[in-house]
């Protein structure tokens, strides 16, 4: 009886995991997830290195305050960049869990996505060191736009190539697409604002949670009315 129970447990596990099996000529999605997690962990850790600086003045309270003031712009850049990367990581994995298998195109889009993610610590460093310089703000916003663009292309490719999990309903598909488009729109808005004001572009990032909440309410209302 115990052997039969183990066999049924293994079969249940296989059935549960079967939707994420890789094709014979592709890569298993677990490999994609592992690489993505590693890159994000490194990128989010490297961000804090920009807060290093040489001590200023005497080793007393006034010297400490002077030091903190000298890294203030880097601190702002660090906080914003860390939570943006966390947002990318969170929603990227929600998106990836709606995909059943990977083809070569999806893998290379994932690599492109990770490439622009690894540039975020550099663009964040530039932003912190040249805070208020229009070009620095544009470089940073341009980097964020590229990350969002690859995430959008990744999802659109999965839909177009039929790589989605068969359990993904129309509501989930529309909701995921809408979310990625809305967030990317906010990143583009930040870039546009940076063209006009190199300080105010971060306001666009605060629009994201409100826009996503509004989209969820709209989806709930739309599909609740669907017979």
Do 77 and 50 touch, CB atoms closer than 8 A?
Answer: yes
What is the rounded average pLDDT for all residues in the chain?
84
3-class DSSP assignment, residue 180: helix
**What does the pLDDT look like over 94-126, one tens digit per residue?**
999 899 888 889 999 999 999 999 999 999 999
Backbone Cα Rg of the chain: 22
Cβ neighbours around 171 below 10 Å, total: 14
User: In the prediction, which pLDDT does 68 show?
Assistant: 73
Residue ranges of domains in the chain: 24-224
Q: pLDDT digit string (tens) for 43-92?
A: 999 998 877 765 666 677 777 777 777 677 888 899 999 999 999 999 99
Give CA separation, 59 vs 51, 53, 65, 106, in Å.
18, 14, 10, 53
**pTM listed for this prediction:** 0.82
- Which pLDDT value is given to residue 24? 47
The model's pLDDT over 177-216, given as tens digits with 9 standing for 90+, comes to: 999 999 999 999 999 999 999 999 999 999 999 999 998 8
């Amino acid at each position: 009886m115990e052997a039969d129970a183990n066999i049924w447990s293994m079969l249940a596990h296989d059935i549960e995991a079967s939707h994420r099996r890789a094709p014979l000529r592709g890569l298993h999605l677990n490999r994609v997830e592992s690489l993505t997690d590693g890159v994000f962990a490194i990128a989010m850790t490297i961000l804090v290195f920009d807060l290093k600086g040489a001590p200023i003045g005497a080793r007393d309270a006034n010297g400490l305050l002077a030091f903190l003031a000298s890294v203030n712009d880097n601190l702002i850049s660090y906080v914003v960049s860390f939570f943006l990367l966390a947002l990318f990581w969170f929603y990227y994995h929600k998106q990836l869990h709606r995909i059943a298998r990977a083809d070569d195109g999806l893998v290379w889009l994932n690599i492109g996505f990770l490439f622009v993610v690894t540039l975020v610590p550099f663009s964040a460093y530039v932003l912190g060191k040249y805070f208020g310089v229009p070009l620095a703000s544009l470089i940073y916003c341009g980097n964020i736009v590229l990350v969002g663009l690859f995430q959008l292309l990744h999802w659109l490719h999965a839909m177009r190539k039929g790589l989605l999990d068969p359990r993904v309903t129309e509501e989930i598909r529309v909701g995921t697409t809408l979310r990625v488009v809305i967030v990317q729109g906010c990143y583009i808005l930040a870039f546009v604002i940076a063209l006009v004001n190199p300080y105010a572009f971060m306001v666009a990032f605060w629009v994201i949670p409100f826009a996503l909440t509004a989209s969820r309410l709209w989806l709930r209302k739309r599909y609740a009315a669907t017979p």
